[in-house]
Each structure stands twice: as structure tokens, then as C-alpha cells.
Amino acid sequence: MKQTALYIHIPFCKHKCIYCDFYSIITTDNINPFLSALKKEIETYSKIYSKDRIITSIFLGGGTPSLMNVDYLNEILNQIHKNFTVADNVETTIETNPDSISLEKLKKFKNIGFNRISIGVQSFNEDELKFLTRIHSKDAAVKTVKNANRAGFENINIDLIFNLPKQTKEIWMSNLKQAVSLPITHLSAYSLILERGTILNKMVLDGKVTLQDSDYDADLYSSTIDFLTEQGFKQYEVSNFCKDGFECRHNNSYWHYKEYLSFGTAAHSFVNGKRWWNFSSLKKYISEIKNCGTAVRNFEVLTKEQKLNEYVMLSLRSKGLNKNEFTEKFGSAWLKEKEDYFSKLIKNDFFKNNSETIKLTKHGYAICDEIIKNLL
């Protein structure tokens, strides 16, 4: 049985933040038609892919899936279990925001099968929350994390964003200190990135917002690694840190170049060297599912070069490049071709090398994108 991750994209949201480029919509229209379409899509793909697969992780993202009522979410989970073989110890994650959740609802989420929760905090600083147009307060964020713990969640992630405009090192470190004082087991720390089409991108282009430079970003990132390591969190991917035993199984499926199926608006899947993605528009998605059973907008079959590039990029961002595994998949020519560059990076403390794995150091993680660009 092939271990496979499963992702559900639920597009509904209370509010669109200025930095967000994920497909989300602020509406209550078509909530029930979406559920019907989603269940049909799951059933359609189960007829093709369920026989030789076992689902090891389920992740509901968005949007804000926790906005949906518990019965709605329970129907989705039941449809997955009905149509696929699901591992007994499946990791089942739901994304939430501090403005959309109560202790009572968190308890219900736990009762229907969610065992991991990811909370979009982004900052514990009121001015930063206002800038990001988040609609929760610091106190609400703290309360939500504590309530998740009270509800029985032992696996709790929070997301934070650093290198915001005017963010001092003191403010960022206070965010991290607040985070580790809470009962979390996982922390995702992302540098602020401008995405095309977002409100923030337009604000920068119009000169209303000025971003801080890459050197300052690298300094904040390095301090983040040092601080979280001292607090007992290990770094297992460029932006992700966890306590022992709490690596995100679902995200590791992506980073370790494993296969995954995704359902819902704008969802991307990757199976047998083929990648495909759904229409983003909610109305178009519902219409396509109704008429065809699927809502595929386009697809690509990856070439050997694309597979190699993606494998290298994802490996270096996470567990490191396993030389034996790489050679089995792609042969040894590429590694021999890059020997001099790897040696240079090892000499300058950007890589650590052993008989099995080439892995980025803390300094290497700070310039990860540049290293991967040069390699590929």
C-alpha cells in the first residue's frame, strides 16, 4: 500500500488579509453545494486511487475551515473514511484562526477525529496584527492556544510571520518568547513574502509600505533558529520547528517528495509523476464536479529533469539530500557534476556532509534559495 497524504481546500473565510494569496472568498453563498461537490469529487477519485493506497495524513486548509460547523466537517471526514483506506494512526489537521473558534467547538473537533490543530496567529503584537489586517487580538490568540490544549489537542502548531515593515528584533523575539510559553509542539516561522495580486504587493508598489532588507531578514532568521533550538525545538525544514516526535506528517509528504491527493477549489495533486490542479473559482468548481465528477483545470507530466530539480529543492529545504536515495532515482552523474560546488559550500559552513546525506547548516538555511538556484 502506498502511503498517501490527503488535502482538502475549503475556501470560505471571514476576512481577506493583505498578504494572503491563497484562494479564499468572503461569502456564505454555495457552502452546501460546495460540500456536495467535494463529497462527489472524493468518491470519483477513490474509484481510481483507493485500491493500493493508505491515507496517512488528512489536512483541512483554506480559507478558514474551522468556520464551518462541526457536522459539516464531520461529513467530509466520514466521506474520506468511507471511500479510502485510512491508517489507524492517521494525522488529521485542521487550520483555524483565533477569531473563529471557541473551547466548545475545539472539543467537538477533537471528538470527530481531528488530532492536530494549526492556528494562524502571525503575531502577538497588536500593532503588527493591525498592519496585517488580522481580526483577532493578542489575548484571543493566547486564549485559543490554551483552549486547544484544554480541549485535548496534544499536537498544536502556530504560524508566525517575521521581518514585517518596522518590526524590530525586540518585537520579533517577544513574539517567539510568547509562543514558547504556550503549550505548543510545533511552530512555523515565515519571512514576509510579497505575492503578486495581494493588497500588500500593491501597497509596496504604491510606496505606502517599505520592506526591510534581506540582511536584516537573515539576522532575524538566524536569531529564530538559535532561540527555538535553545527552547527544545528542532528545525526540520527551512521554516518549521517542532518538539521531538511532532514533525508534521502531512507537510513531510510534500517535503520528502511523496504522493498526495487534494480535493476542493484550487487543490493540487501529485501522483505517479503527474501533477494536476483544480479550478479556483467556487462556482466553476461546483459546475465541473456536477458535470464531470472532477474539476481539473490543467495538468503536467513531469520530466526526469523536473523530478530531479524538485527532489533536490525539497530535500535540501528539509531532511537533506540522501546520496544513495538520489543515485537510485537519478543516477550519479549530477552529484559528480556538482562536487566542486558542494565542496565549496561545505568549506564555508553552508553544508554539512557525511557518508549518507548532504544537509544545510544554519548558515545554509539562511541563503537556501540562493544555493538551490545556483545548483539548479
Q: What is the CATH number of the domain that holds 58?
A: 3.20.20.70
pLDDT digits (tens, 9 = 90+) for 74-115: 999 999 999 999 999 999 999 999 986 999 999 999 999 999
Instruction: Kindly report the length of the chain.
Output: 376
Query: Are 214 and 105 in a shared domain?
Result: yes
Query: Are 106 and 209 in a shared domain?
Result: yes
Residue 28's pLDDT is what?
Answer: 81
Q: Is residue 269 included in any domain, yes or no?
A: no
The CATH number linked to 356 is 1.10.10.920
Computed on alpha carbons and rounded to an integer, the radius of gyration of the chain in Å comes to: 21
Q: Is residue 295 included in any domain, yes or no?
A: no
Residue 283's pLDDT is what?
Answer: 96
d(CA 38, CA 44): 10
Query: Are 242 and 109 in a shared domain?
Result: yes
d(CA 205, CA 200): 9
What residues contact residue 81 under an 8 Å CB cut-off, 6+ apart?
none
User: Is 3 within 8 Å of 258 (Cβ atoms)?
Assistant: yes
Flag whether pLDDT at 273 surpasses 80: yes
Last residue of some domain: 194, 224, 255?
255
pLDDT digits (tens, 9 = 90+) for 293-345: 999 999 999 999 999 999 999 999 999 999 999 999 999 999 999 999 999 99
Q: Is residue 293 included in any domain, yes or no?
A: no
First to last CA, the chain: 33
Look at the block and give the residue holding cell 562536487: 339
Query: Are 100 and 235 in a shared domain?
Result: yes
Looking at the whole model, is its pTM more than 0.75? Answer: yes
| Mean predicted lDDT score pLDDT of the chain | 95
Flag whether pLDDT at 29 surpasses 80: yes
Q: Is residue 283 included in any domain, yes or no?
A: no
Flag whether pLDDT at 73 surpasses 90: yes
Query: Are 111 and 229 in a shared domain?
Result: yes
- Kindly state the percentage of the chain with pLDDT values over 90: 86
Flag whether pLDDT at 355 surpasses 90: no
Q: Is residue 66 included in any domain, yes or no?
A: yes
d(CA 64, CA 25): 10
What residues contact residue 174 under an 8 Å CB cut-off, 6+ apart?
124, 125
Flag whether pLDDT at 21 surpasses 80: no
Query: Are 86 and 9 in a shared domain?
Result: yes
Residue 207's pLDDT is what?
Answer: 85
d(CA 39, CA 156): 28
Tell me which amino acid residue 45 is: Y
Residue 146's pLDDT is what?
Answer: 98
Look at the block and give the residue holding cell 504522493: 259
Confidence class for position 41, pLDDT limits 50, 70, 90: very high
Range of the domain at 209: 2-255
Last residue of some domain: 229, 255, 281?
255
Residue 128's pLDDT is what?
Answer: 95
Look at the block and give the residue holding cell 510559553: 181
Query: Are 25 and 167 in a shared domain?
Result: yes
Q: Is residue 289 included in any domain, yes or no?
A: no
176: closest CA among 228, 242, 226? Answer: 228
Confidence class for position 16, pLDDT limits 50, 70, 90: confident
Residue 17's pLDDT is what?
Answer: 85
Choice between 209 and 66, residue whose per-residue pLDDT is larger? 66
Residue 177's pLDDT is what?
Answer: 98
Query: Are 190 and 323 in a shared domain?
Result: no
Q: Is residue 291 included in any domain, yes or no?
A: no
* Overall domain count for the chain: 2
Flag whether pLDDT at 139 surpasses 90: yes
Query: Are 243 and 162 in a shared domain?
Result: yes
Flag whether pLDDT at 66 surpasses 90: yes
Query: Are 203 and 339 in a shared domain?
Result: no
Q: Is residue 148 included in any domain, yes or no?
A: yes
Confidence class for position 374, pLDDT limits 50, 70, 90: very high
Residue 198's pLDDT is what?
Answer: 84
Q: Give the mean model confidence (pLDDT) for residues 12-34.
A: 86
d(CA 221, CA 72): 39
Last residue of some domain: 195, 222, 255?
255
Residue 183's pLDDT is what?
Answer: 98
Query: Are 369 and 223 in a shared domain?
Result: no
Query: Are 89 and 236 in a shared domain?
Result: yes
Question: How many angstroms separate the Cα of 340 from the Cα of each of 25, 322, 345, 376?
Answer: 49, 18, 9, 14
